[in-house]
Chains A and B, each alone.
Chain A
Amino acid sequence: MSQSTTNLTAGPPAQKTGSNSLTAGLMPGWTWIVVAGAALVLGAAITVVLSDQFAVVGWVVLSGLLYIVGMYLITLVLETRRRATDMLWKNLVWTAFFIALVPLISVIWTVVANGLPTLISNPGILTDDMSNVVGADDQATAAGEAPLMGGILHGLIGTLTITLMAMVFSVPVGLLASIYLVEYGTDNWFSKAIRFFVDVMTGIPSIVAGLFAFSGMTLFVSTFISDSPAALQSVKMGLTASIALSVLMIPVVVRSTEEMLRVVPNELREASYALGVRKWRTITKVVLPTAMSGIASGVTLAIARVAGETAPILVTAGYAVSVNWNVFSGWVTALPVYIYRQLINPTAPAAPDPAAARAWAAALILILIVMGLNLLARVIAHYFAPQKSGR
């Protein structure tokens, strides 16, 4: 035992030298580097021996296993059993984390690798639609005789208008419903029923939402307008798709807004009542602003959730090759549907590569939109949050 470490009396601290008895018996901090290096080398050797050639996946998996086992054994020998168990579980938790990341990274990587080159070499894809593209164009492109034709603009516009319209329906409905649930329907049977059905709606498969909107709109048109084939044809439009998306979006908005309203402290409502402020004004001027950041980010996440939907739009909005700004009439294409159709029904069935290139570019843009919305939700939550106490 070194005496110097037990000197705890007051006074200017003396320069401590020598070993610390509290850290005696620990392995040096660089041990893991050595073990990792050894595991990588050994893993590589075993991989080559077992498969006659170098397989990266096998190498990574083997090295990881060797590292975990190696660290456990070394800690067991150099330190204590407790620390070894701690080390083992810590490494297992990290492994689980990396495994969870694999699909995410892999998806992003695939989409970027396939979509980015097209976007860079053909930026016009963002400003062009498919109205003038025929099979011959794609065959020429595939043969290397012409640049890539066509674009995704109509899909972008379609996604934008349909999603905006869905937002126009779902945000007021969702907001008012959750205000009713939290502020008015304090656990009466009606609010319990609403909560139950909102939960059920959360689990509705998106294709069912699409069929619901489609048949609902068909019923509406044939009852109130006309059941001529032309009128029935007009059922497929952006509006119908927005209704389908609203069915998916409303429960998400209700639930997230409800959570946010619930965490607004009751003290604030009472402070407002005590000043002689009416309930509705208290809700709009105190409760909603206090919860605004959470509500806004919840709404943004709900938008991100429906922006990538394919099936409900496929059955409600038809398929168009040109930009259609009008949600109330005519077929519309949204980005996910565009991707699906370009892959399943390439413009030139004999030369599907250009269609696939456009689909990958569209997929990249779609992922960027959804990621952007998620980031936006975080920014909103951060900047609109009420100032925390400065104490």
Chain B
Amino acid sequence: MSKSITAEDLNVYYGDFRAVADVNIEIAPRSVTAFIGPSGCGKTTFLRSLNRMHEEVPGARVKGDLYLDDDNIYAPGVDPVTVRSMVGMVFQRPNPFPTMSVRENVLAGHKLNGTRMSKSEADDIVEKALRGANLFNEVKDRMDRPGSGLSGGQQQRLCIARTVAVEPDVILMDEPCSALDPISTLAIEDLIADLKEDYTVVIVTHNMQQAARVSEKTAFFNIAGVGEPGKMVEYDQTSVIFNNPSNEQTERYVAGKFG
């Protein structure tokens, strides 16, 4: 479990529009990496290219190489479904399945794939995943109620539990707290700190304090102008990015001078 991610000259396109250009990055296993940058600079787009989710958008494609440990996920013949079972994703807005109960939501990755398991196995998976998402105590009495009946923060942790339950190697999170209140945000941040014991975590965030709190390394993305591709400007230890960046754009951004 837990794999490194290496991008080599990764370019991400929507049709003819190049949204992200020439990214080279190495992300260590069992670490938290934050992507920051102004809106529209391609953070989401790049994140979604890490589990081949990007190509679900009609006309979207990727050029370049992306390695999980030593395997190139963009090599010809690679099944994107296999990649996605190794690289889980948590979305900006909590999106539990509305037709499923809390318990079924946690088991969704197994149930939707038709995996057969005994009730006790399923119970174990549910409890482990919910404990892993710091949600077990809050929902243990309402396992069979609809997942969409939980609060926003609980729903987001349910989505994390759902992702954890399929035991991926990498967990991607796209602004997971942007729709949540400060208390729920704190709960998720605590959770991210726990998750990095077992997983490679990559998180996109608009909130620089959050990046500083949760991540070890930070990548700053920027865009030269409308219609220009987004680029990774600087990638370093989080403390360096926020206190002593080497790039002037980064310095201005973390100082709140633009963006």
Contact = CB atoms under 8 A, between A and B. Distances in A.
Interface string B74-106: 000000011011101101010111110000000
A185 to B, nearest CB: 11
B182 interface: no
A278 interface: yes
Interface residues of A, number: 28
A386 B148 contact: yes
B7 to A, nearest CB: 19
Given A290-B99, A387-B148, A390-B146, A276 B91 contact: no
B113 interface: yes
Given A267-B91, A281-B112, A285-B112, A274 B146 contact: no
A388 interface: yes
Interface residues of B, number: 35
A270 B91 contact: yes
Given A271-B97, A273-B53, A390 B84 contact: no
B91 A277 contact: no
Given A276-B166, A391-B149, A282 B98 contact: no
Contacts of B205: none
A286 B166 contact: no
B148 A275 contact: no
Contacts of B53: 270, 273-274
Contact of A274 (B58, B89, B145, B151): B89
B109 interface: yes
Given A271-B162, A272-B112, A290-B98, 6 more contacts: A272-B108, A273-B81, A275-B88, A276-B82, A386-B99, A389-B98
B159 interface: yes
Nearest to B172: A274
A292 B56 CA distance: 24
Interface centre among B84, B89, B98 (most CB of A within 10 A): B98
B95 A276 contact: no
A135 interface: no
A273 B148 contact: no
Contacts of A289: 99
A78 to B, nearest CB: 51
